[in-house]
Amino acid sequence: MPSSVIVAGAGIVGAALAYFLSARGIRVELFDEEAPAAQASGAADGAVSVASKRPGAMMTTALAGIALYRKLARDGVFADLFKPRSTFLVAASDAECEVLEAHCAALSGAGVRVTKIDRATVAEKFRVLSPDVGMAAEVHDEGHAIGYQIVHGLLRASGIAVRRREKVQRILVSSDGTCVKGVATAKGEYTADAVIIASGLGSADLLGLSGTLIPRKGQLLVTERAPALNGRMPGAMMSCRYLLSKGSQKGRPAPARGLALVVDPLRTGQFLIGGTREDHGDRRTNDLDAVSKILADAVALIPGLVDVRLLRCFAGARTAVVDGLPIIGRVGSFGNLFVATGFEGDGICLGPVSAESVVAMVCGEKPALNLDPFTPSRFPKLRIAA
Amino acid sequence: MPKCDVLVVGGGPAGMAAAVTASQLGLSVEMIEQRRTLGGAFFRQPIEGVRPIPQRASVKARWHKLSADMSRAPVRIHYGCVFLGVDSDGFVLFEDRQVGEVVRCAARAVIIATGAIEKVHPIPGWDRPGVSTAGGLQVMMKETGQAPKGRILLAGNGPLLIAAAAQMAMVGNPPVAIVESGDPMRPGLTGLGLLVAPYLLVEAFGFLRAVYGAGVPWLRGARIEGIEAHAQGLQATVVRRNGERSAFVVDRVGLHEGIRSNDMGLPAIADASTSSPIVIRAGDCSEPLGALAAEADGALAARKVAALLGHGQSRGGEQALLGRLRQAQAVLAKLFAPTIAPLDVPDHTTLCRCEGRTIGDLKNLVAGADLKSGREVKHNGRFSMGSCQGRFCAANTAELMTRLRPGAPPVVASDLTGQRWPLRPVSIAALVAATKVKAPVD
Amino acid sequence: MSSESFFWMGKPIPFRAGESVAAALEAAGILSFGPAPGGGPTRYFCGIGACQCCLVRIDGCVREACLTPACSGARVEELGAADAKV
């Protein structure tokens, strides 16, 4: 077992790594170019969910991710930070109902608890929804967590002081080239028994992954508090178009620019409304077209939102990988260099559980997750950048 | 969609002067103003049929000229419109509340003149009904022509307290006292060079005469410590420099610790000729020097925009006037420098009203060796996350964070507020209506 | 002079033409505009639309009482009152 580990990147993955490493008594140095949750983790929709996933490695990992959130909530690390709730997939048109039927079958087949709700029952039980809703499906046992709060909770529990505004610029390799010995920043060189790269898009420069990691912009909205309307929402409402936009249903046309709707009632009485998936564009800014279109969709689904005010819009860049799967595991022949990044829009759900498994690997144990589908070795050009 | 050379945001002295000058220089100008009348806070207009509160002749003359110039200028004014910011496509966005939709405006330049807000220090009870800013009481008085009802205590720092008290006295309800942390009457202040701005002296003497004439005690070197509920209204505790405490039972308290730019979240200044749009700030939202300076700065901003848009260079006397007014403000700041140390504020005191967060919450969050950024404190403590977007807590939070962590890099308000639209909470109905202006994206 | 009125929580409040909702409520002795969803009472504070402390619901829309001109017959309510009927 290593006695010290350097982690690059204080997003949700880096914070979870720090937490699990510290819990084993391993000394952690956590570096970030800016500050914790400064990028995607601080601008995420916070879904801890399998509702939009197809059976496969990502779904299996997401189910483990949800289980870990429940455990950490019970243990107190995520006390008051994880809101258990269902996700309701909502279909408005005939085409969407058809997609939803197929998706429900796939989810059930993978062992996910799903309840189909017909039009009449929706109209009777969920008055908050538009009468146009044709059917809904309740995906049980999911939840919501706000990324920056989770990062904060993990760091607080780890008890470490983050090295802010200190970017890892280089990975230092031992003189015989068999292992890494540490990292270099503008402030100096640091050594440790192992190094883990979890710096999202920033990982590209360190590991020669430019072209493999792609920024995918998302725009999200937060309303003011509307406690009564919020209280009548039994869970997150997800338009079935979200499935199309994520490419989860192959062979169907995805909407242009990937505008798709999720309305999540927050604990504060506010609503988080998302979002877009854009392959280009400025990362931190919002445009009126996107915002008004998202809200038009939201009001079409939940008419009561029309009387609420929009408080904030924000945008972030997810770290996507060309093949759609994250990159998690040991890097090349270096026994003590690891990477965990590329979770695209799933970092909040998958980040902590992936970090737990990476820490097991770092400590020479067999990880609880099957990380084979995510192996870095599928990208032969991945290497330590000079 | 409105198209124009210049969109002026805010119809106060800076915005009006900017609009007048810009149209004189041949630019097409539109203006948005959140109220249904022009004037801003300083020239807030009385409602119809109401006798305006007494003002000095020179102030009346300035308003007369400004409004006459404005009515002659071919400026289209959109009333009832709240500025939301500039989006990533470069459109200027505002909420037109009379129509009920968000409008995007293709302006080549935007002059932002959103004025100032008052500083208020957190003390126990500052968030009670009956407690407002002193300027809030003042603009209400200008609007209604009437003094606020009941017993009023004014407390804080600076000349605005005297002005508000004088105006209250002139319309028949002087405050019970003015609590002032500075002491402009203390000996040894004659060498300060107040003569840089003689009008300030004239103004000050006029106000002081009204205040003294009404017998209002001016408690200098004193601070308000807290405001509690009382059977007959509110009970305010006042501490003097010598530690002596006294209580005032009143109906209203007006707080004021000076002004700061109302610049929270504003789009970045973009003043290259290639900027699209050009973004410039004018008046108090650029530098809080008061109404006279705002007028000069508005004209200056218009000249700058005209030059950037290729409408030629022009010069007025604004720079020199601004220089003198900047000096005058510096003198006033020295004159009113607090002579009593800040009081200890108990942990239960509200720091962020919108989100109900206290000073104790902030202390807990920043305790320990891990030096959190302003943004982390915002996110995890919810300071500046509420409806006022940090206008009344971001600076106080940043200041307290800096004080609590000696040796750590100082935190500034913009670390918490960031820079993004909407600058103010905006009706979802109005945002949905905006889609009708232009074809939706998909 | 006050010939017109709006309704505050169902009760008629007289106002003068051009007057803001906040000024009319203050003149009627109403200093607290009801509980804010984030805690604390809503009430008049800055008078220039910046602080968002004086929010009320006017004919269903959330508005700053200090910025909004009073309008004859308008239904003005505490923020929570209308939210509860959604």
Query: What pTM does this model have?
Result: 0.95
> Closest Cα to residue B346, out of B358, B334, B331?
B358
Residue A55, Cα to own-chain centre: how many angstroms? Answer: 18
The pLDDT of B126-138, averaged and rounded, is: 97
- Per-residue confidence (pLDDT) for residue C38, from 0 to 100: 80
CA-based nearest distance A229→chain C, Å: 6
Indicate the burial class of B417 (C-beta count within 10 angstroms; 0-12, 13-18, 19 or more). buried
Per-domain boundaries in chain B = 3-117+260-314, 120-257, 350-414
Q: Does the pLDDT value for residue B442 go beyond 50?
A: no
Rounded Cα distance between B159 and B178, Å, is 11
Per-domain boundaries in chain A = 4-41+149-212+323-378, 84-142+213-321
**Nearest CB neighbour to C37, from listed A128, A227, A304:** A227
Q: Does the pLDDT value for residue A186 go beyond 50?
A: yes
Confidence of residue C1 (pLDDT cuts 50, 70, 90): very low
Per-domain boundaries in chain C = 4-83
Q: Tell me the per-residue pLDDT of C15-41, one tens digit each, with 9 for 90 and over.
A: 999 999 999 999 999 999 999 888 789
Residues of A in contact with C61 (CB under 8 A): 307
The answer to whether the Cβ–Cβ distance between C83 and A309 falls below 8 Å is: no
Q: Tell me the per-residue pLDDT of A348-358, one tens digit each, with 9 for 90 and over.
A: 999 999 999 99
- Per-residue confidence (pLDDT) for residue A174, from 0 to 100: 94
Residues of C in contact with B36 (CB under 8 A): 18, 69
The pLDDT of B81-90, averaged and rounded, is: 95
**Nearest CB neighbour to B426, from listed A255, A256, A310:** A310
Confidence of residue A242 (pLDDT cuts 50, 70, 90): low
Minimum Cα–Cα distance from C79: chain A residue: A226
What CATH number has the domain spanning A4-41+149-212+323-378? 3.50.50.60
CATH of C4-83, one of 3.40.50.2000, 1.10.3720.10, 3.10.20.440, 3.40.50.620: 3.10.20.440
Residue range B3-117+260-314 forms a domain whose CATH class is: alpha beta
**Which of A255-264, B33-42, B212-221, B419-428 shows the lowest mean pLDDT across its residues?**
A255-264
Residues of A in contact with B93 (CB under 8 A): 288
Residues of A in contact with B371 (CB under 8 A): 161, 164
Rounded Cα distance between A260 and A243, Å, is 9
Confidence of residue A279 (pLDDT cuts 50, 70, 90): confident
SS3 state of residue B395: helix
The pLDDT of A207-223, averaged and rounded, is: 94
Residues of C in contact with B37 (CB under 8 A): 18
Residue range A84-142+213-321 forms a domain whose CATH class is: alpha beta
Residues 6 or more apart in contact with residue A144 via CB below 8 angstroms: A46, A47, A48, A82, A83, A85, A236, A264, A266
Minimum Cα–Cα distance from C61: chain B residue: B427
Q: In chain C, positions 24-83, which contact chain A (CB-CB < 8 Å)?
A: 37-38, 57, 60-62, 80, 82-83
Confidence of residue B192 (pLDDT cuts 50, 70, 90): low
Give the H or E element holding residue B351: strand B350-352
Q: Does the pLDDT value for residue B441 go beyond 70?
A: no
Q: Does the pLDDT value for residue A39 go beyond 90?
A: yes
Confidence of residue C62 (pLDDT cuts 50, 70, 90): very high
- HSE-up of residue A274 (Cα within 13 Å, Cβ side): 27
> Closest Cα to residue A43, out of A269, A350, A286?
A286
Q: Does domain B120-257 have CATH number 3.40.50.720?
A: no
Q: Does the pLDDT value for residue C86 go beyond 70?
A: no
- Per-residue confidence (pLDDT) for residue A282, from 0 to 100: 62
Residue B380, Cα to own-chain centre: how many angstroms? Answer: 28
**Which of A3-12, A275-284, A334-343, B104-113 shows the lowest mean pLDDT across its residues?**
A275-284
ipTM beyond cut 0.90:
yes
Q: Does the pLDDT value for residue A104 go beyond 70?
A: yes
- Per-residue confidence (pLDDT) for residue B204, from 0 to 100: 80
**Which of B193-202, B212-221, B341-350 shows the lowest mean pLDDT across its residues?**
B193-202
Minimum Cα–Cα distance from A226: chain C residue: C83
